[in-house]
Amino acid sequence: MARAQVAKSAQLLRMREILKVLGRLYPEAHCALIHRNPFELLVATMLSAQCTDERVNQVTPALFAKYPDARAMSGATLGDLESLVRSTGFYKNKALALKTTAELLVERHGGEVPSSLEELTALRGVGRKTANVVLGNCFGIPGIVVDTHVGRLVRRMGFTRETDPVKVEHAMMEIIDRDQWTISNHMLIDHGRSLCSARKPLCDDCPVSPLCPKVGVGGRSKRSA
């Protein structure tokens, strides 16, 4: 077996072990964005750019009460959308993206959210990350979602040196079993929020620590944090 294949096999086995640990640690891991259908998750994920999920979840109830579907949102004024999503940041760009995407959904897809990566990423303001969130959580189509938490953790765990989200996504597709792609996103995000934070990773208290080279950080404990 070639050296590269041996290395890839070792990375795959190590990731499987890490995901087993994370599965025990976060047995209820799930999408943090509250939604009832693909349209709501698409909108919520678009709003989550440069914004916390908590803030998005505070904004979307009023937004969806007024504009519950693509047809309704396509008829909204930009000013009203801007007012409703202002607290999520970059509200002018987000409002324009929401209205334009709603219009495209009506024009191209009969008001429904499409279930393919190509069709989703053809919408305004929808990149691979947003598309994979929708595909994995609403259509059961596995995808790797590389947000700041996932990118930081996989680099810290020594799986890649890439910083470009798309390159990280493709690297992870090689070493995570396809049926684990969607749930691994949620578990890694939960771990990034609870123990493996950017500035104070609690390595001394982390069950994943024996499997992690801690690239770029030293071990920290809750007592020293």
SS3 for 123? coil
- 31, two tokens: 């999408």
Q: Which residues contact 150 (CB under 8 A, 6 or more apart)?
A: 144, 168, 172, 185, 188, 189, 192
- 134, two tokens: 């929708």
DSSP 8-state class, residue 114: P
- Is position 179 annotated as part of the catalytic site? no
Among the listed residues 147, 204, 205, 214, the single catalytic one is 147
3-state secondary structure 127-192: CHHHHHHHHHHHCCCCCCCCCHHHHHHHHHCCCCCCCCHHHHHHHHHHHCCHHHHHHHHHHHHHHH
- Is position 190 annotated as part of the catalytic site? no
Please state, in angstroms and rounded to a whole number, the distance separating the CA atoms of residues 40 and 43.
5
- Taking every pair of Cα atoms in the chain, the longest distance, rounded to a whole number of angstroms, is 61
Among the listed residues 53, 94, 129, 190, the single catalytic one is 129
What is the set of active-site residues? Answer: 129, 147
